[in-house]
Amino acid sequence: MAYLKLANSTFEQAFGTARGGARENGMPDAFMAMLADYLRGRKEWPARAMYMWIRSGGKLCALTCREDLVQPVIDTLTEKGCPFVLAKETTGNTGFLIREADSGLVRDAAEEMLKARSGYCEITTGEMAGIIYRRARVKDKSMLVLGGLSEEEVYYLQEEARPALPGMAVGVDRMPDGSYTVTCHGESTFVQKEGESFGSAIMEAVLVAGGECAGDVRERCTQRKEYLKKKAAGFPDMDGKSERPVWIVGRGDCYVKRTQDGFEAGHAEAISGEIFLVIDAQTGVREEGYSDRLHSALSRITGHICLYEERDVLEYFRDKKDHYRSAKENGFRSLVGCASGIVAKKEEGRGNSRNWTRRMTRYRDEMCRLLEAAEKGTVPTGYGKNDILRLRRIIRAFSLDMEKTHPAIDRIRGIAVRGREAGPKRIDLEQKLATLHGRHVAEGRDEPVRDRGRTGKER
């Protein structure tokens, strides 16, 4: 991903003064020349594609978005195959430069993305997810339970749950052995949208968290856990109290400052090498809707970190490196999305089975088979040469090291899949009482079985 740092005046020339809008054409020749010079020789495929477009005389469009939507827009453009340049002015505003020919596609994709992001996916326990679906207005109440996942894989999956399953619920449970299970609605897991589904998000989570990008995902997971602990405790200060202020910062330039009296939301600006914290809004702790306003302000920050001294906040914004998903991670996302679409197309000929357990098991195995074939350059039975060529083009474009994905593919193959009905677990009182007395109740029989060594005929 090409990332361009612009002076304020240059940013205004390229993006105009309107925030959140889009500006077409009209970019100064001097800026276009500077951009072409910046892109020349860069290896990332978006940068190469943008450079060739500018050299051929193509025009550009510009658009800006809120900080919390930058990563989703990056994901959307990457998934659509639209090259872009990510630019930021010195005071922190973020913008995208895209090809004019892509403007219609990007506009439609952005609308879809915003619609998906506006949905809410509840992360709860497997038991509660079943109860939610028992009450939900869906005909098919069958659930899928996927076991053997790691903490990092589940964290990544939770990040993808809202856009993949808007308006739904996902259950997450930690097992005694330290692994995790995810419970989700069977039918919703296979709703395909251009190769994307919650099922493909599961494959993506394991591949990304267990391959070349494992370190990045682990770091984000640890950081997120620490933040949630502090948020649940009301953002205590260094002494574990609420007497001193706490600043919550992130990947962008927004911040939230928690004080005894409420909170303030603002942003950092760099002027002549100095950092200034500009207050945008203040909310008192006794004001109506305080909790909702605080949640809204925090939701605009990504990659939350808590700081406790103003000098540390200023230093953070002075030295901060804007961190979005790496090109490698975007590459694996594109690879899984493409492979998932290929598998979905192949499975269309088998009919729309509503046995979600069998369907997920087959989907899991087919994804492993296809990803392994893409690495070797072989064409597995049931697929065509063009299928493998599409995957190999993605591998080359992002310089993905497929050898490092072998353990992750093995983990995908090892995901345990079982089904269950929505609603609370049924408790067999007779079995429970028998267990308390050290007995076993035979399935389908009324009397307890005391001697398990006998065969059915001896009984």
- Residue pair 304/227 in contact (Cβ under 8 Å)? The answer is yes
- Rounded CA separation 189/34 (Å): 46
Which residues does residue 95 pair with via DSSP β-bridges, in sequence order? Answer: 64, 87
Q: Average pLDDT of 28-48?
A: 85
Per residue in 251-300, pLDDT tens? Answer: 888 899 999 999 999 988 877 778 889 898 999 999 998 998 998 899 88
The per-residue DSSP string of 210-226 comes to HSTTHHHHHHHHHHHHH
Encode pLDDT of 286-335 as tens digits. Answer: 999 899 899 889 988 888 999 999 999 999 988 876 556 777 888 898 89
Which residues, listed in sequence order, are joined to residue 284 by a DSSP beta bridge?
262
- The answer as to whether 456 is a domain residue is no
Residues 110, 153: one domain?
Answer: no
pLDDT, residue 220, reads: 85
Identify the domain boundary among 319, 347, 370.
319
CA dihedral 169, 172, 173, 175 (to 10 degrees): 140
Residue with the larger pLDDT of the pair 76 and 294: 294
336-388 pLDDT per residue, tens: 989 998 998 888 767 667 889 999 999 999 999 999 999 999 999 999 999 99
pTM of the complete model beyond 0.95: no
Dist CA 310 CA 298 (whole Å):
18
Domain presence at residue 443: no
DSSP for 244-276 reads S-EEEE-SSSEEEEE-SSEEEEEEEEEETTEEE
Q: Are residues 154 and 173 in the same domain?
A: yes
Closest CA to 396 of 1, 39, 42, 45: 45
Residues 197 and 332 in one domain: yes
- 153: its two tokens: 């894989």
| Cα 264 from chain centroid (whole Å) | 28
The CA R_g of the chain, rounded to the nearest whole Å, is 26
Domain contains 444: no
Query: Would 446 be classed as within a structural domain?
Result: no
**Chain CA centroid to CA 429, Å:** 41
Number of domains in the chain: 3
Structure tokens at 384: 């065509």
Same domain, 12 and 103: yes
Structure tokens of 44? 């990332």
- Residues 307, 360, single domain; the answer is no
> In this structure, what token pair is assigned to residue 232?
């649940």
Q: Say whether both 126 and 204 belong to one domain.
A: yes
Domain extent, residue 35, equals 2-117
